[in-house]
Amino acid sequence: MAILQISRIQVRRGLQQDLPQLASAELGWSLDERRLFIGNGTIAEGAPTEGLTEILTEYSDFLSFGFTYKFKGAASGYTSQTGPSILSPVTRALQTILDETVTVTDFGAKGDGATDDTAAINRAIQQIYVSTLSTTRSIRRLIKFPAGNYLVTGTILIPPYCTLIGDGKNNTRITSTTSTVFTTADSLYQSGIGSIGTNSATLPTSISIGNMGVSVTGGTNSVAIIDSASDVLFKSVYFSSASGATRAVTITNSYATAQNITFENCTFNGAATGLGATGSSVNVKVKDSIFTNNSTAGIAVGSYLSGLVSENNYFDTTVATAITGLTGNNYSFGDTYTSGDNAGVYSGSAKIGTGRSVSLTTGSTTITSLATGSGSISYQINDSSNNYRYGTLKYNKTATVLSFDDEYTEPSTALSANLWAHANGTVVCTTTGSYTLKYNTTQFV
């Protein structure tokens, strides 16, 4: 059938601010916001409430319509009671729920390894940790870095109370070609000498960064600089620095002493030193971490670190020296050194080695090499018949001289085994048969 006529439906129209009460079933179009409304009618006509009902279009703000969420806990087999009664559950707007999770991609970061994400990441941090509202806890959010490679060309400023989390230290990576990736900043986003801590700003504190990798592929800059900060935690972070850098991670004090800095399950790769300080730092703890490709030292205590605790860390064969300058109130417990003798405990300048057992056969077997300083080796040598000799070899070694005194007790059946030291500090055990040597070292370094 042919269409003979098309009727024109005319609706009321105008600006959103001038929208009137519409009659029952009357349409109204908001020109400026492109929103469409229909009048409810009156209660006398049967409407449940008077007013307007919005008709959804492509321009409608769907989340503002009160899409709500009620926790049900269906996995438990019943509906949980969230409110004062089962008939009055707690209801929250969907927008509120979504805003509780913040990701850098919400602010424009791509993580594709090609886009410069510096501005987007800094924008995300500065919007969530707004300097003028830094004391308002409710605005602070954990910022998520989804798996990806985030290329940056400048430094990311880490203010007080900031928490950043990735999808794993080998899944989320922030990479710079030359710039330091992270540096702590005060509540006004001021950093560095002469700036941080000025203008009554709050110093960086209560910072947590985890489950990500941060890398600088060239140049001489540290991957991260922890400046004048307190209560800082790095957990499961992979720090990778170019070989030309002095330190992969630097702790310093442009304004105040850095304190209570913890690294847990981290990796320090590259740079002359994995972790070091250029300013006063107290109570620094490194545990369950790995050091690789450090041409000078894994950890350099120097004259700045005080109260260092190094616990159960692994320093592989590419690390020249595990820890340098370990004196005073600095300690090492259960660390593994693949270069040199394993130490059970470093307590200040005293080194107490782990107990070790060596099976010996005829000939000379090198046991350990003595570092410059003084100390002792407590030992026991026994044969298969449980005849044994035990004693303590005390020594003092300088650059040119080694002196030692072997105080021992010999069993009634003499053993053809002897522990002694060469002038160069190499300790050997010479035997004419099969023996077992058990020993540990105590050394002042």
Count of other CB atoms within 10 angstroms of residue 75: 6
What residues have CB less than 8 Å from 375, skipping those under 6 apart?
351, 394, 395, 441, 442, 443, 444
Three-class secondary structure of residue 5 per DSSP? coil
Q: How far apart are the first and last CA of the chain?
A: 105
Tell me, rounded to whole angstroms, the distance of Cα 209 from its chain centroid: 4
pLDDT tens, residue by residue, 102-125:
999 999 999 999 999 999 999 999
**127/130 Cα distance (integer angstroms):** 5
Higher pLDDT pick, 229 / 350: 229
**51/48 Cα distance (integer angstroms):** 10
Q: Which helix (H) or strand (E) holds 418?
A: strand 417-421
At residue 445, the pLDDT reads 61
Residue 355 has pLDDT above 80, yes or no: no
Backbone angles phi, psi at 243, to 5 degrees: -65, -25
Domain boundaries, the chain: 13-67, 101-340, 356-444
Maximum C-alpha span of the chain: 128
What residues have CB less than 8 Å from 278, skipping those under 6 apart?
250, 251, 252, 304
Count of other CB atoms within 10 angstroms of residue 237: 26
Looking at domain 356-444, which CATH architecture does it have? Sandwich (2.60)
At residue 1, the pLDDT reads 52
Strand partners, 29: 13, 36
- Average the pLDDT over each of 21-35, 44-58, 221-235 and give the range with the smallest value: 44-58
At residue 401, the pLDDT reads 84
Q: What average pLDDT score do residues 325-339 get?
A: 73
Fold match between domain 101-340 and domain 356-444: no
CB-based burial label for 252 (10 Å; 0-12, 13-18, 19+):
buried
Q: What average pLDDT score do residues 315-329 get?
A: 86
Which residue's structure tokens are 């954990």?
A: 142
Q: Give residue 87's pLDDT band: very low, low, confident or very high (50, 70, 90).
A: low
* Cβ contact 208:230 at 8 Å: no
Q: What average pLDDT score do residues 266-290 get?
A: 96
Three-class secondary structure of residue 329 per DSSP? coil
pLDDT tens, residue by residue, 39-62:
988 888 888 878 888 888 887 766
The dihedral built from the CA positions of residue 66, 71, 72 and 74, taken in this order, carries a sign that is positive
Q: Give residue 294's pLDDT band: very low, low, confident or very high (50, 70, 90).
A: very high
For the domain made up of 101-340, give the CATH fold.
Pectate Lyase C-like (2.160.20)
At residue 370, the pLDDT reads 82
In 105-189, alpha helices (H): 118-128
The dihedral built from the CA positions of residue 86, 88, 93 and 96, taken in this order, carries a sign that is negative
Exposed e or buried b for every residue in 385-417, given b needs 16+ CB within 10 A?
Answer: eebbbebebbbebeeeebebeeeeeeeeeebeb
Q: Give residue 423's pLDDT band: very low, low, confident or very high (50, 70, 90).
A: confident
Strand partners, 391: 379, 408
* Cβ contact 145:103 at 8 Å: yes
- How much of the chain, in percent, has pLDDT values that exceed 70? 90
Residue 351 has pLDDT above 90, yes or no: no
Which residue's structure tokens are 């410069």?
A: 116
Exposed e or buried b for every residue in 268-277, given b needs 16+ CB within 10 A?
Answer: bbbbbbbbbb
β-pairing verdict for 258-264 and 273-277: unpaired
Higher pLDDT pick, 289 / 398: 289
At residue 134, the pLDDT reads 56
Three-class secondary structure of residue 388 per DSSP? strand
- Angstrom CA distances, 51 to 16, 19, 34, stand at 15, 11, 19
**55/70 Cα distance (integer angstroms):** 25
**320/274 Cα distance (integer angstroms):** 11
At residue 298, the pLDDT reads 95
At residue 244, the pLDDT reads 92
At residue 440, the pLDDT reads 83
Q: What average pLDDT score do residues 313-340 get?
A: 80
**242/272 Cα distance (integer angstroms):** 9
- Average the pLDDT over each of 158-162, 270-274, 360-364 and give the range with the smallest value: 360-364
At residue 7, the pLDDT reads 60
Mean pLDDT of the chain: 87
Residue 342 has pLDDT above 70, yes or no: no
**The pair of three-digit structure tokens given for residue 43, joined into one six-digit string:** 């209660």
